[in-house]
Amino acid sequence: MASYLITETWTWGYRGRWTNVKTYIPVTQQAFTEQELLKYDGSNPNLPIYLAIDGDVFDVTLGRGWYGWGGSYNHFSGRDAARAFVTGCFKEHLTHDLRGLSESEMKGIDHWKKFYANHHHYFKVGTVEHPPIDPNSPIPRPCKEAVNRKPVNHKP
C-alpha cells in the first residue's frame, strides 16, 4: 500500500523484466532462419514484430509504433542488424556481421542485448541461425552517414 501511495505503482516504480507477465509464462524458444525472421518485420498487422541482435530474437510487438511499418526503428525489425545498433549506420550496417568492431562497440552490443532481455514489454522468443560468414569477404566499411555519431577530430 505504501508503494502505491508514494510512487503510484505497486512495485515501487520498478518497470523491468519482472513486471512483464510474459516473463512468467513459459515460451518455447524458436530457431529462425534469416528468411523466416523476415516475415516478422511489422508489415503484417496480424503477426508479431521480432528483431534480433547477435543471434537472439526478441518480440517487440508492444512497441509497434517504433518497430512497425513506418516506425522510426522499423529498419531493425525482421532481421539481425546487430552492427547497426552500435555504429548508427542504418543503411549499410543492417547486418549481423560484427567483424572489425572495437571492444567498446562489442560492449554496446552486449548492452542492447541486455536492454531487450530485461525490458518490461519485450521478451526473447528464440534465436536466428545465420549462415557462416566467409572469412575472405570484406568487413563492412565504416559509415559516414551514421546517426548520432560524433565526428572524428582530425588534427592538422
Q: Which domains does the chain have, with CATH numbers?
A: 29-124 (3.10.120.10)
Res. 148: pLDDT tops 80: no
Q: Considering the entire predicted model, what is its pTM?
A: 0.77
Res. 135: pLDDT tops 50: yes
pLDDT digits (tens, 9 = 90+) for 29-57: 999 999 999 999 999 999 999 999 999 99
Model pLDDT, residue 97: 95
Residues near 83 by Cβ (< 8 Å), separated by ≥ 6? 89, 93, 94, 95, 96, 97, 98, 101, 140
Is 132:99 a contact under the CB 8 Å cutoff? Answer: no
Strands (E), 6-64: 30-33, 50-53, 56-59
Average pLDDT over residues 62-69: 94
Q: Name the residue among 64, 63, 67 with its Cα closest to residue 78.
A: 67
pLDDT digits (tens, 9 = 90+) for 69-113: 999 999 999 999 999 999 998 888 999 999 999 999 999 999 999
Rounded CA separation 86/72 (Å):
16
Is 95:20 a contact under the CB 8 Å cutoff? Answer: no
Q: Is residue 82 within a helix (H) or strand (E), and if so which, with residue range?
A: helix 82-87
Residues near 66 by Cβ (< 8 Å), separated by ≥ 6? 60, 72, 73, 74
Model pLDDT, residue 150: 45
Is 17:58 a contact under the CB 8 Å cutoff? Answer: no
